[in-house]
Structure 1
Amino acid sequence: MTMDCKEQFREYTKDRISDLPDDVLSYILSKLTIKDLLKTRILSKRWLNLWESRRNLNFDIPNMFGSAREMLNFNTLPDMPESNTKELVMQRVRNEFVRRVDQFIQHFQGEKIDSFRLAFDLPAEHINANMDRWLSVAVAKGVEGIDLLFSNKPHFIDDRKISVKEYEFPFNLFSESDGPTLRHLSLKSSILDHPPPDFDFVRFRNLRSLVLEETTLPDDFPACLLSRCSFLEELSLRYCYFTNRTSIIVGPSLRSLEIIILPYGVKFHISASNITYLKYSGALSDISFIEAPQLITSYFHAFYEREIPCVLPQFANFIRLENLALSFMLYKVVSLQRSSSSLKNLKQLDLFIERPEWQKFDPFWILNILRACPLLQKFSLMFLRPKPCVNMREESDPGAFTHNKLKVIEIGGCVGNWYEAEFVKYLVKHVKALESITLSPFWRDYGKSEMGDADISSWVQSGREMVRGILREEVSEQTHLRLL
């Protein structure tokens, strides 16, 4: 290549990315961290103001610092005393975080903000002086999604425990509006107090998703907010603090509801004619349904095994229920009687059972649940944190049992206990349409992808062969047996 050709080639390829359309460049910029986004201003005149086209603002540690390595540099600053404490380091990180967010907001001239997310694992009191001002900018630019995620964990200075002051959500910032814009709101470690008496909820009328975690709620929370959000489809209440003892959740547009481990004694009555998904963690006796005819998928975590017998009557009213997961700690042997209640449309059942190491376990009471599910096709049983047990066999009479639709059985957390093989042996004999059955030492909890560590050595050395020996002559050629 001659020198002239090289010059022409360099000229042709010079800053070709700047010739791309604005919408393409905006998409590229949306993939950068906030820190790297600001660096693009120095590339050329074309790039000087392009960063302001960013419409999704995400202020968290990775976005503001770029990497954990930069945060670690605060540990080795020249003026850091030898007796540096974690609190002193975090104070510097916090101050720098606030400075960077504030600098960005002050210089941001974009016309529209779609989402505003601020996540920092520190109490909100450290940024309260700035938070309302930052949020007001987002509201003024028609923000549609807001996530304010703080921490309510106390911090320490010189071994002194410092109390936490939670962030009070500023309804007043949403009082002036040309029309509804907000579609998603998520608060963590905040206070959602009563709005002003003359508040018209215009900004909230298109709210589709509301997530509240570790948030203090007013006595009439459902009435004061949910009743005004006629399009709300997703509601999540995680570890929230209710001052009243009874809450009624009425949501004609609700499709998804999550209630996780609320204080005992708070009773919930749910009337949601269109809800299809429900996740509940708490005492089953504290929740009742007035109306939920469209429920298809549900997960329940019950703290006590004594609540299990009330499961079938509770769920039998859900005539469209297809997927059900139950998780509980087993402190004593369950005696679950046969019930006339039936889960007529249930297709998949997942049981997550944790028992103390000393507890005897007889799995045949589970058959009474399977009996109530005539159309069940897949059954998954997970033993959480399993341990081998010795001389804990319970003699029982499972009674008459047969199932004509069950095709797939999975049992996780196997460590070679007697009941694993005996239970599977019984199922193999009485499940007519069985296609595959899997036994594995690995287990997972509900909603988690990572697998737990069982006592695999016991399974590898003897458990697997014990199960194989028991089932060798029981499993038909039509059934695929997998021992992991």
Structure 2
Amino acid sequence: MDYISKLPDCILSYILTMLSMKDLLKTTILSKRWCKLWGLRRDLYFDVFNVFGTQNQLLHIIDMDMSRDEFVTRVHQFLNNFHGTKIDSFLVNFFLKREQSSTINQWLSFAIARGVQRIDLLLLGLPYGNDNTRCKLYKFDFALFAYTNASTLYHLSLQHCVVFHPINSDFILPFKCLRYLSLRSAKVDKMFIECLLSNCLLLEEFYLLYCVLKSLKLKIVSSSLRHLKVIGCYTVSHIILGIQDVKKQDDVKLILLDCPKLTSLAYDAHDLDTMKINTPMLNSIQFSISFKRDLNAFVAICATFTQLEIMHLTTLAMVTTSLPITQPLKHLKELNLDVSVPSYILNDEEYDPLWILNILQASPLLHKLSVMFVYQEFFEDQKDIRDVETFCHENVKVIELGGCVGNWFEIEFVMNVLKSAHKLERIVLSPYWREDEELDWNSNPDWFQRGRDRIIEKFQGEEVVGREKLVLI
């Protein structure tokens, strides 16, 4: 007896969502009823797994050029058999370029006509492929929305596209309900950003990630924006060196940030001393700082963030030699520090690796402190452990040190924290570190060869109050 056919449409439709597109297309020859059930799908996702259908193809980088035609054919076949009248979300994650513009526009028109609310056009194809060609990027066509109800769109994510304001000066961006926009590895012009911020009055999240901009200076002015990321953006210019035409890249600088409702900001900070900022509601920041002048300006700016509770700072050990904490971070509750530690810096007599204790002292309400040392090496000429100026901290409960190798200042830091942090529940030392959240974890073998044992030996030989709170990974 065919028990499956007796199931109600809602259950059968749910079962079909578990199938890849490749397997789903096979059901058309089994039952016309099953084919019609496709129309109940509201979320259409087209990536390597859903189109090609086997887990094995996720385990290696596929040949995008060989697979592109097959990918396009299968998506076309699916859409031609799809009878649904309503779509909530539409995702394409594959390595496509400008030569596929007509195809991409057909797919987008299909989704727009069905009132799509969320579009993700991820044309890098990650993590299944890498772009190492010079083919032209697909140019996002705003005209697709001109004759349809684009007001349904609230989420738009574009990757590896050209996003320029149309030449028509009378053009009005048709995204009145847009709340989320992410542009990654895209080419973007200044006029589009200005048009976006002035027309999309409901926009709450805006992310510019590793984009090529036409203007070196960026202004963000919005009365609705709550979350902003400007990471890795740059301009490209050409200079002549002899007879060669050389490309020159310059980091984009955020010169004006006027967003009264902004609560979170991520920015690889450049020229902070000249940036004008108005963000009275800001409570979470993620900054990447490479120069001492920007670090000093960063500390001054932090004093103006009266609601700041969460901070993530990525910096170099060389610029932290004299970190000035001029005012307490009164509301800070969570602090994450990623510190690159070049081997030569530990030989510098002016460098004090315990500068982190200064931040701890300046953050009286801090609950959690996470520090990750990047590229740290074991220092052969170990100093004697010493005490620093005594202080008390009544709120910090969890401290994590990543990228440890067993250096003297790691031990000294732990000893001083155990004495000073009266509410501490645990302090965890781990060898693992990574440069970015999207990258794999690394560790230094020195930790397992001698660093971990050195710390154990030191704490066994000392009368240290609270050493039961120490956890070694």
1:58 to partner: Cα distance: 1.3
Change (3 A) 1:200 1:311: closer
Change (3 A) 1:50 1:126: same
- Are the counterparts in 2 of residues 214 and 239 from structure 1 also a CA contact under 8 Å? yes
Q: Which amino acid aligns with 1:53?
A: L
Q: Of the candidates 367, 373, 376, which is equivalent to residue 366 of structure 2?
A: 376
Change (3 A) 1:31 1:307: same
**2:469 matched to which residue of 1?**
480
- Are the counterparts in 2 of residues 322 and 347 from structure 1 also a CA contact under 8 Å? yes
Change (3 A) 1:272 1:422: same
**1:415 matched to which residue of 2?**
405
- Are the counterparts in 2 of residues 40 and 51 from structure 1 also a CA contact under 8 Å? no
1:178 to partner: Cα distance: 4.0
**2:152 matched to which residue of 1?**
181
Give the whole-Å Cα distance in 1 for the aligned partners of 2:134 and 2:423.
60
**2:378 matched to which residue of 1?**
388
Matched, 1:60 2:33: no
Change (3 A) 1:242 1:273: same
Change (3 A) 1:432 1:69: closer
1:286 to partner: Cα distance: 7.7
Matched, 1:431 2:418: no
1:433 to partner: Cα distance: 3.0
1:18 to partner: Cα distance: 2.8
1:173 to partner: Cα distance: 0.6
Change (3 A) 1:428 1:72: closer
Q: Of the candidates 336, 346, 350, which is equivalent to residue 350 of structure 1?
A: 336
Change (3 A) 1:432 1:311: farther
Give the whole-Å Cα distance in 1 for the aligned partners of 2:393 and 2:211.
42
**1:231 matched to which residue of 2?**
202
Change (3 A) 1:39 1:419: same
Matched, 1:270 2:260: no
- Are the counterparts in 2 of residues 233 and 254 from structure 1 also a CA contact under 8 Å? yes
**1:247 matched to which residue of 2?**
218
Change (3 A) 1:303 1:33: farther
- Are the counterparts in 1 of residues 385 and 412 from structure 2 also a CA contact under 8 Å? no
1:275-424 → structure 2 map (5 Å cutoff): 275-283=262-270, 285=272, 288=275, 290-331=277-318, 334-339=321-326, 341-360=327-346, 362-391=352-381, 393=383, 398-399=388-389, 401-424=391-414
1:71 to partner: Cα distance: 9.4
1:421 to partner: Cα distance: 0.6
Q: Which amino acid aligns with 1:26?
A: S
- Are the counterparts in 2 of residues 437 and 481 from structure 1 also a CA contact under 8 Å? yes
Q: Which amino acid aligns with 1:235?
A: F
Change (3 A) 1:325 1:333: closer
Greater shift in the superposed pair: 35-44 or 139-148: 35-44
1:239 to partner: Cα distance: 0.7
Can you give the 5+ residue segments of structure 1 that lack an aligned partner in the other structure?
A: 1-10, 74-85, 156-161
Aligned residues: 447
1:181 to partner: Cα distance: 0.9
Change (3 A) 1:128 1:301: same
1:34 to partner: Cα distance: 1.5
3-state DSSP class of the match of 1:38? helix
1:126-205 → structure 2 map (5 Å cutoff): 126-151=99-124, 155=132, 163-178=134-149, 180-195=151-166, 196-202=168-174, 204-205=175-176
1:392 to partner: Cα distance: 5.9
Change (3 A) 1:93 1:72: farther
1:394 to partner: Cα distance: 9.3
Greater shift in the superposed pair: 348-357 or 62-71: 62-71
3-state DSSP class of the match of 2:443? coil
**1:51 matched to which residue of 2?**
38
- Are the counterparts in 1 of residues 43 and 89 from structure 2 also a CA contact under 8 Å? yes
1:381 to partner: Cα distance: 1.5
**1:7 matched to which residue of 2?**
none
Change (3 A) 1:389 1:441: same
Q: Which amino acid aligns with 1:35?
A: K
Give the whole-Å Cα distance in 1 for the aligned partners of 2:271 and 2:422.
33
- Are the counterparts in 2 of residues 183 and 208 from structure 1 also a CA contact under 8 Å? yes
Superposed CA RMSD = 2.9
**2:246 matched to which residue of 1?**
none
Q: TM-score, structure 2 length as denominator?
A: 0.85
3-state DSSP class of the match of 2:44? strand
Change (3 A) 1:18 1:350: same
Greater shift in the superposed pair: 281-290 or 56-65: 281-290
Give the whole-Å Cα distance in 2 for the aligned partners of 1:129 and 1:448.
32
Greater shift in the superposed pair: 58-67 or 218-227: 218-227
**1:83 matched to which residue of 2?**
none
Give the whole-Å Cα distance in 1 for the aligned partners of 2:39 and 2:273.
49
**1:454 matched to which residue of 2?**
444
Give the whole-Å Cα distance in 2 for the aligned partners of 1:286 and 1:136.
46
Q: Which amino acid aligns with 1:355?
A: V
- Are the counterparts in 1 of residues 218 and 252 from structure 2 also a CA contact under 8 Å? no
- Are the counterparts in 2 of residues 71 and 93 from structure 1 also a CA contact under 8 Å? no
C-alpha deviations, 1:210-252, integer Å up to 9, x for none?
A: 0001111122233211221111111111011221222221222
Greater shift in the superposed pair: 41-50 or 205-214: 41-50
Matched, 1:105 2:95: no
Change (3 A) 1:123 1:178: closer
Matched, 1:22 2:12: no
- Are the counterparts in 2 of residues 342 and 372 from structure 1 also a CA contact under 8 Å? yes
Give the whole-Å Cα distance in 1 for the aligned partners of 2:57 and 2:416.
59
3-state DSSP class of the match of 2:393? coil
Can you give the 5+ residue segments of structure 2 that lack an aligned partner in the other structure?
A: 235-250
Change (3 A) 1:63 1:424: same
Q: Which amino acid aligns with 1:145?
A: R
Q: Which amino acid aligns with 1:167?
A: Y
1:118 to partner: Cα distance: 1.2
Q: Which amino acid aligns with 1:191?
A: V
- Are the counterparts in 1 of residues 123 and 160 from structure 2 also a CA contact under 8 Å? yes
